[in-house]
Structure 1
Amino acid sequence: MKDQPEGRAVMLGRYITETGATVRGAANKFGISKSTVHKDVSERLRREDPQLYRRVKEVLEKNKQERHIRGGLATKRKYAEIACRRRSSFR
C-alpha cells in the first residue's frame, strides 16, 4: 500500500465517505499515521478524484464541527469509569 499513495488516497476517501470516519479512525483502520491520511485526502485525492475529494471534505468538515461533542462525551465516560472504580473499591 505504501508504493501507491494515489490508490491509497482513493481507498481512504471511499472509506471515510462510506463510514463517516474521522482522520484518526481511518488512520487506525489502515495502520498509517494521521498525517499520512490527512495528506492523502487533502492533497493527493484532490488531484486523483476531485469529486470524491469534495465528498470527503464534507464528511471531515462535519466531523470537525462535532469533535467538541465527542471530546465532551469521552471526558464524561472517563470520569464515570473513575467514579465506578472508586465505588467498587470502597465495598
Structure 2
Amino acid sequence: MKDYIEERVMELARYILETNATVRAAAKKFRVSKSTVHKDITERLLEINPGLAHEVKTVLDNNKAERHIRGGLATQQKYKGNMH
C-alpha cells in the first residue's frame, strides 16, 4: 500500500473517532468518495491497525443505526413553518 493512502486511512480513522463523523461527512472533509472512505475503513484500516478499525466500525455502526432519526429531523426542519 502506498504511503499516502496509509496516511489518509489513519487520518480518516482519527477524524471519525474524534468527531463521530458519518461516512458522508468524512468523505466531504477529505474530498474523497463515500466508497473510498468505506474501503479505507473496512479493508485498509483492518490491515494497518485492526484495533483502531474495530473502534471506527463501532462509531460508523452507531451512525448507521441513528440514520433514520437524522433523516426525520431533516424532513421536520424542511417543512417547519410551511405547514400552516
What do the CA deviations read for 1:58-86 (whole angstroms, capped 9, x no partner)? 000100110000000011111116x18xx
Q: Output one character per residue of 1:35-65: Cα deviation in whole Å (capped at 9) or x when no partner.
A: 1111101100000111110100000010011
Question: How many residues are treated as equivalent by the alignment?
Answer: 83
Residue identity (%): 59
TM-score by length of 2: 0.90
- TM-score, structure 1 as length reference: 0.84
Structure 1: 5+ residue runs without aligned partners?
Answer: none
Max Rg structure: 1
In structure 1, the partner of 2:14 is 14
Runs ≥4 residues deviating over 2 A: none
> Residues of 2 paired with 1:15 and 1:80: CA distance?
32
Q: In the alignment, which residue of structure 2 is the partner of 1:77?
A: 77
RMSD over aligned Cα atoms: 1.9
